[in-house]
Chain A
Amino acid sequence: MLWLLKMNKRHGTCIVVGASSGIGIAIARRLALQGRKVALLARREVELQAMAAQIDDSIGRSLARAYVHDVCKLDEAEPLFARIEQELGPVDELYYAAGVMPLVRIDEFDLAKDQLQVMVHALGCMAWCNAAARRFLQRKAGCIVGISSVAQDRGRIGRPGYNASKAAMDTYLEGLRNRLWRHGVQVTTIRPGFVETPMTAGLALKGAISADRAAQLILHARDRRKAIVYVPGKWRLIMFVIRCIPSVLFRRLSI
């Protein structure tokens, strides 16, 4: 029952990084439905403004505010965090949902694409989590939720850059969790499987869940103060099996 008590204490501002589409906007909508003030962060200004306006319009209250931000601009994270706190009040939850998945051909080795993924998944996440961790540690409260991926569990044939950058993010979040948990700050890692989002629109993903369902499971994991959560849960088993495949066999497979 402890988590229920903790849940009721939540009333501060939430930051959602990567909120113009997919899981990010779904989380932002559900947070707004819970009556939370939400700062939406993303690159595309018009889309982001429209999303924020829609949340306010649908709920009938002013809860969402759009902040145009490119996570690749690492220096901007700290001042923007401060600005959001100034404008919307103290932040107690950070959701890092920014993600990119460029199309990579099987014989393509493009550093620019790899660099972008490391920027968005790993460095961008570090910049925002650092800004949050510094404050949360001081207040001995707060919650960081990072959207990693099941793809981080193994390096695979299709997207080495994606796997590696998500793995970097995932490991970083684990380190952060071990640092902060003892001070009352929660760090939750989410590893989504197949989710229907604009990022995965071109791929025919069998059994994909909706972004809204993913957001529901993510917020549930937050409430239960989980450390690492697969979304949906069946992916824990699937990825366990995949992790067990010895390299000598794995390098011959095309999964």
Chain B
Amino acid sequence: MNSKIWREEMVRGWGMAVGGMAKVLRPTTAEQVADAFGEVRALGGAMALRGSGCSYGDAALASGGRVLDLSAMNQILAFDPIRGIARVEPGVTIRKLWQHTIAFGWWPKVVPGTSAVSCGGAAAMNIHGKNNFAMGTFGESVLAFTLLTPQGELLRCSREQNADVFFAAISGFGMLGCFTELTIELKRVHSGRLKVAAIVARDLAHNLQILEDMRGAADYLVSWLNLHASGRALGCGVMHRADQFEPGEDPEGLRYFDPALQDVPTSMFGVVPKGWLWPGMWAATNLGMVRAINWAKFKAAPLEARGSPYVQSHGAFHFLLDYVPRWHWMTKPGGLVQFQPFVPYATGELVLRTVIEECQKAKLVPYLGVLKRHRPDPFLMTHSVDGYSLAMDFAVSTKKQKRAQLWGLCQRLAEVVLQAGGRFYYAKDAMLLESSFARVHGAAATQQFRALKQRLDPQRMLQTDLSRRLGV
């Protein structure tokens, strides 16, 4: 593939609900990125940066514009197996990273629900995992990076050097420049497996109570919610807690340092190729079976809880979204949006209850709900709060009226969340309004970010559909 020609391609968000045609270039080296920057600067145009394209919404899109796709810049430049520090190019996926490091007993400090995301994207969106309450966000595991600014300057940034840019470019959703290299710190694991326990949560209050009780001791906590349940059972679900093993606690886990044993299985019962499960799921979604499936899943939970704790490889526990490849195709043709409000601890229960009830009232119930605990972090445009988040997946209809109805609902919900001092997450968001931008981060942070943007990118060369929507 010629890495110098911009190709006209359809570029979509991962949720497939938003997207458009754009000119795409896939550089393989930092020099080619610099060349592309120079070219666009000379043209006076705008472009968006894109990693693996796993943002649900429009964070890596530039409909009608240019997109610099960094997924081909995917070399692990160095890895120190004694200290667990990796130097990677931005397009290296989390999967490639752990496949390289797990053999030495190192695992990324923060991983999302799919290992397909790129390290550059993970830093730019400052993503979190199931251990946000303990380990913080992905940005906190980044020790340093090199940033190519839109004016063609290479900035070396760390907590000591160019600290203002360091804390803003991580979480800065690709607005300040392109990472050309990242230094990432990993964590030691003493076994290739985790100890996993399932706990049945009766309702929302019980769910939150478990999170509070366990967050001091557990390594990972995540709760699946059956959002169809109403009344007293509202917010019921299954909490999964996972803990790392201590040295010598799980000798058999030694074998699981073989990367091949960390992969999620590619077939079901050893026969059905999982790549072909999505049509079945598509049928289930479109036949209105989601409610029944959620109900059955909740009813089956006590069985899993009785078998707890059990052991699972790191990969099998973390990468639930990789179990069924292309699962999001089940929402075709409309696609899906994810709405994930972050709400402070104090008002958490009330706000989440309101949000779920509003969805049920509007008869637009998310087919999936995931509850997590979070803590604040030092990054300028962070989404994290000392509180909870509830990720809700909505299937989007192709009918204009229904789509508008969903967007309307989400905007109403966003208002509730913002009034409570909540936040949103740009890796997921697709509907936040311009007026909300300052309310999410506070006036001071927004001003500081805009000043940095003005300093590093006065021509406003880096733009995405997201940044235009928010009026960054």
User: Once the chains bind, are B249 and A33 in contact (CB under 8 Å)?
Assistant: no
B80 at the interface (CB under 8 A from A): yes
Contact with A along B93-132 (1 / 0, CB 8 A): 0000000000111000000000000000000000000000
- A180 interface contact, C-beta 8 A: no
Segment among B256-264, B285-293, B389-397 that sits at the interface with chain A: B256-264
Question: Are A58 and B260 in contact, with the CB atoms below 8 A?
Answer: no
Q: Mark B221-265, 1 if CB is under 8 A from A, else 0.
A: 000000000000000000000000001111111110111110000
Bound-complex Cα distance A47 to B106 (A): 12
Q: Please state if A46 and B81 are interface contacts (CB–CB under 8 Å).
A: yes
Q: What distance in Å separates the Cβ of A1 from its nearest Cβ neighbour in chain B?
A: 26
Chain A facing B: main interface SS: helix
- Residues of A within 8 A of B (CB-CB), count: 26
8 Å CB interface, A36-90 against B: 46-47, 49-51, 53-55, 57-61
Interchain CB contact (< 8 A) of B251 among A33, A47, A211: A33
A21 within 8 A of B: yes
Q: Are A50 and B190 in contact (CB under 8 A)?
A: no
Pairwise interchain contact A58-B258, C-beta atoms closer than 8 A = no
Cβ of A25 < 8 Å from any Cβ of B?
yes
A103 CB → nearest B CB, Å = 16
Which residue on A lies nearest to B105, using beta carbons?
A54
A173 interface contact, C-beta 8 A: no
Nearest chain A CB to B96 CB, angstrom units: 10
B43 within 8 A of A: no
Inter-chain contacts of B253 with A (CB < 8 A): 58
Binary flags per residue of B269-297, CB closer than 8 Å to A gives 1, else 0: 00000000000000000000000000000
A32 touches B254 (CB 8 A): yes
A33, B81: Cβ atoms closer than 8 Å: no
B191 within 8 A of A: yes
* A93: interface (CB < 8 Å): no
Q: Does B42 contact A (CB under 8 A)?
A: no
Q: Which residues of the other chain, B, contact A25 by a CB distance below 8 angstroms?
A: 103
* Residue in B closest to A48 when the chains form the complex, CB atoms: B81
Residues of B contacting A21 in the complex (Cβ-Cβ under 8 angstroms): 103
Residue ID in chain B nearest A212 by CB atoms: B258
Q: Are B254 and A33 in contact (CB under 8 A)?
A: yes
Give Cα distance in the complex from A53 to B257, angstroms. 13
| Distance in angstroms between the alpha carbons of A209 and B409 in the assembled complex | 49
* Contact A58 to B105, CB < 8 A, known contacts A29-B254, A50-B81: yes
CA distance A184 to B261 in the complex (A): 36
For the complex, is B217 an interface residue (Cβ under 8 Å from A)?
A: no
Contact check, A46 vs B255: say whether CB atoms are below 8 A apart.
no
Given known contacts A21-B103, A49-B82, is B258 in contact with A60 (CB within 8 Å)?
Answer: no
List CB contacts (< 8 Å) of B44-89 with chain A.
80-82
Give the residues in chain A near B80, CB-CB below 8 Å. Answer: 46
Instruction: Tell me if A196 is interfacial: C-beta within 8 Å of chain B.
Output: yes
Which of A30, A53, A55, A212 has the most chain B CB within a 10 Å cutoff?
A: A212
| A57 touching B190 in the complex, CB below 8 Å, given contacts A47-B104, A210-B258, A210-B260 | yes
Residue of B nearest to A20 (CB): B103
Output the nearest chain B residue to A49 by Cβ-Cβ distance: B82
Are B82 and A58 interface neighbours, CB within 8 A? no
Within 8 A of B (CB), among A151-191: none
Kindly state the separation between the CA atoms of A213 and B103 in the bound complex, as whole angstroms.
Answer: 15
Is A196 a contact of B105 with CB atoms below 8 Å? Answer: no
Which residues of chain B are near A58, meaning CB under 8 Å?
105, 190-191, 247-248, 250-251, 253-254, 257
Contact in complex: B257, A54 (CB < 8 Å): yes
A57 x B251 contact (CB < 8 A): no
Would you call A26 an interface residue if the criterion is a C-beta within 8 Å of the partner chain's C-beta atoms? yes
How far does the Cβ of B263 sit from chain A's closest Cβ, in whole Å?
A: 9
Distance in angstroms between the alpha carbons of A196 and B258 in the assembled complex = 9
- In the complex, the answer to whether A60 meets B260 with C-beta atoms within 8 Å is no
- Which residues from chain B contact A211 at a C-beta distance below 8 Å? 258, 260
Enumerate chain B residues within 8 angstroms of A213, measured Cβ to Cβ: 260
- Cα distance A209–B252 in the bound complex, in angstroms: 19
User: Shortest beta-carbon distance, A84 to chain B, in Å?
Assistant: 22
A26: chain B residues within 8 A (beta carbon): 255, 258
- A211-B260, A212-B260 given; A33·B252 CB < 8 A: yes
B254 lies within 8 A of A55 (CB) = yes
The answer to whether B105 and A50 have CB atoms under 8 Å apart is yes
Known: A21-B103, A57-B247, A60-B249. A50 touches B82 (CB 8 A): yes
CA distance A196 to B105 in the complex (A): 18
Please tell me which one of the listed residues A30, A50, A212 contacts residue B104 in the complex, with CB atoms under 8 A apart: A50
Residues of B within 8 A of A33 (CB): 251-252, 254-255
Q: Is the CB of A61 within 8 A of B260?
A: no
Chain B residues with CB below 8 A from A196, complex form: 259-260
User: In chain B between 337 and 379, which residues have their CB closer than 8 angstroms to a CB of chain A?
Assistant: none
| Pairwise interchain contact A212-B261, C-beta atoms closer than 8 A | yes
- Contacts A26-B258, A57-B190 hold; do A51 and B104 have CB atoms under 8 A apart? yes
- Looking across the interface, which residue of chain A has its beta carbon closest to that of B250? A58
CA separation between A196 and B103, bound complex, in Å?
A: 13
Bound Cα distance A46, B104 (Å): 10
- Closest residue of B by beta carbon distance from A216: B255
User: CB-CB < 8 A to A46: which residues of B?
Assistant: 80-82
- Interfacial chain A residues near B258, Cβ < 8 Å: 26, 29, 210-212
B positions within 8 Å CB-CB of A: 80-82, 103-105, 190-191, 247-255, 257-261
Interface residues of A (CB under 8 A from B): 21, 25-26, 29-30, 32-33, 46-47, 49-51, 53-55, 57-61, 196, 209-213
Task: List 19 additional A-B contacts (Cβ < 8 Å) besides A58-B105, A209-B260.
Answer: A26-B255, A29-B257, A29-B258, A47-B104, A49-B82, A50-B81, A50-B105, A51-B103, A51-B104, A54-B104, A55-B254, A58-B191, A59-B248, A59-B251, A60-B247, A196-B259, A210-B261, A212-B255, A212-B258
Q: Which 7 A-B pairs have the closest CB atoms?
A: A60-B248, A210-B260, A50-B81, A54-B105, A212-B258, A58-B254, A50-B104
What are 14 of the A-B contact pairs (CB < 8 Å)? A21-B103, A29-B254, A29-B255, A33-B251, A46-B80, A46-B81, A46-B82, A49-B82, A53-B105, A55-B254, A58-B247, A60-B248, A60-B249, A212-B260
